[in-house]
């Protein structure tokens, strides 16, 4: 492996040109930081992190919705990372400390088990990208108990990339696409970034050699003047993706436009439960509505970090008031968050 990595780094140096490569995956950022990959690359080859953390991009409005459910006496189940994501004024962790019935689960199946064993209403907060959305869809198709429903916070990666490209804010020259997402939706939804915008792309796996190989593939495309999407992660990703999972999503979800944390409303970027399954849609079932929202804690620059225009070290709160034990912004909460990863692995 060492000889292969040296050979890849040599080839990268041979093809190096000034280029800014964005990835949109928390696992990719973890691999990059843990293994010091940025330090191995020539200085003109820059890798920046985008909105790749599914917990981080859940906006305050949806945290406030979940808090409303707790206030209504509903049992709220969610992944552990979601507990400390800030809403406008509070978080699920604070509500739990006040006596609210908030429970950490490792998946929707465990939330359904809780619903089957209690008379109380149970809601599962489904936060994730296309990777986890099919699991929620499959459970809904299996007709869970009447006292169970879902607050869908699922989002789609390609519309967010499209927004970034067209925003004029984020200057990116190439893309490393997320292997987990592409196992579900394949490479096809990303093709137009190359054909329409001339952006080189590579779908990558999650070990250091995967990342280095993706960088080499991108530089090779630049050298040849042939922007396209290449599949470095062939051991897991097929061009068409997982068509069974896609069908489950198509049956259960409708596509809507909604804001992300740090972003305005992104067109056609979220997965909401269809009307025919409204009995499992917590927004419909409990008629929850949030009007006034405070998006970011004072001094937090999580939004610009998620958009790839700032780095964690640009934030005055980073390593001071904001740290993994006391996260102020969403990017410090999850282990897939850019700030959390930078805190653990950077020396700046």
179 and 32, same domain (yes or no) = yes
The pLDDT of residue 254: 98
107 and 177, same domain (yes or no) = no
**CA 122/CA 286 separation, integer angstroms:** 12
| DSSP strand pairing (174-178 vs 148-155) | unpaired
Domain-located, residue 292: no
Q: Of 183, 185, 219, 223, nearest to 202 (Cα)? A: 219
Tens digits of per-residue pLDDT, 223-281? 999 999 999 999 999 999 999 999 999 999 999 999 999 999 999 999 999 999 999 99
- Residue finishing a domain among 231, 250, 271: 231
- Helix boundaries (H) for the chain: 2-15, 26-34, 37-40, 60-71, 92-97, 108-116, 133-141, 157-167, 179-185, 191-195, 208-224, 243-252, 282-285, 302-306, 338-345
Give 110-113 contacts, CB < 8 A, sequence gap 24+.
110/77, 111/77, 111/148, 112/139, 112/144, 112/145, 112/148
What's the domain count of the chain? Answer: 3
72 and 123, same domain (yes or no) = yes
Domain-located, residue 291: no
242: tokens are 């997982």
Domain-located, residue 297: no
Which CATH number belongs to the domain containing residue 31 in this structure?
3.40.50.11750
Contacts of residue 326, Cβ cutoff 8 Å, sequence gap at least 6 = none
66 and 210, same domain (yes or no) = no
Confidence bin at 1 (pLDDT 50/70/90) = low
Residues of the chain with pLDDT > 70, as a percent, come to 99
pTM equals: 0.95
For 13, the domain range is 2-54+166-231
């Amino acid at each position: 492996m060492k000889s292969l990595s040296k050979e890849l780094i040599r080839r990268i140096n041979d093809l190096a040109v000034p280029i800014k490569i964005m990835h949109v995956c928390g696992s990719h950022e973890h691999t990059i930081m843990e293994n010091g990959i940025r330090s191995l690359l020539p200085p003109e080859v820059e890798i920046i992190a985008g909105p790749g953390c599914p917990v981080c991009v859940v906006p305050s409005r949806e945290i406030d919705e979940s808090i409303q459910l707790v206030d209504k006496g509903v049992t709220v189940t969610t992944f552990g990372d979601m507990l400390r994501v800030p809403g406008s004024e509070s978080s699920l962790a604070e509500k739990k400390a006040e006596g609210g019935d908030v429970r950490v689960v490792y998946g929707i199946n465990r939330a359904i088990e809780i619903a089957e064993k209690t008379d109380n209403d149970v809601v599962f907060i489904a936060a994730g990208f296309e990777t986890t959305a099919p699991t929620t869809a499959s459970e809904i198709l299996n007709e869970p108990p009447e006292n169970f429903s879902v607050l869908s916070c699922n989002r789609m990666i390609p519309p967010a990339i499209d927004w970034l490209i067209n925003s004029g804010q984020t200057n990116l020259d190439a893309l490393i696409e997320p292997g987990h997402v592409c196992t579900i939706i394949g490479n096809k939804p990303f093709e137009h970034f190359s054909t329409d915008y001339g952006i080189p792309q590579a779908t990558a796996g999650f070990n250091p050699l995967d990342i280095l190989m993706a960088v080499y593939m991108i530089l090779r495309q630049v050298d040849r003047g042939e922007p396209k999407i290449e599949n470095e992660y062939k051991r897991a990703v097929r061009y068409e993706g997982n068509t069974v999972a896609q069908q489950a999503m198509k049956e259960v979800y409708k596509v809507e436009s909604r804001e992300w944390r740090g972003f305005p409303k992104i067109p056609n970027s979220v997965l909401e439960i269809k009307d025919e399954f409204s009995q499992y849609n917590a927004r419909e079932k409990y008629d929850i509505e949030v009007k006034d929202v405070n998006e970011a804690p004072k001094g937090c620059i999580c939004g610009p970090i998620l958009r790839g225009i700032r780095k964690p070290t640009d934030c005055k709160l980073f390593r001071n008031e904001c740290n993994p034990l006391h996260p102020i912004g969403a990017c410090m909460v999850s282990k897939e968050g850019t700030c959390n990863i930078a805190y653990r692995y950077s020396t700046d």
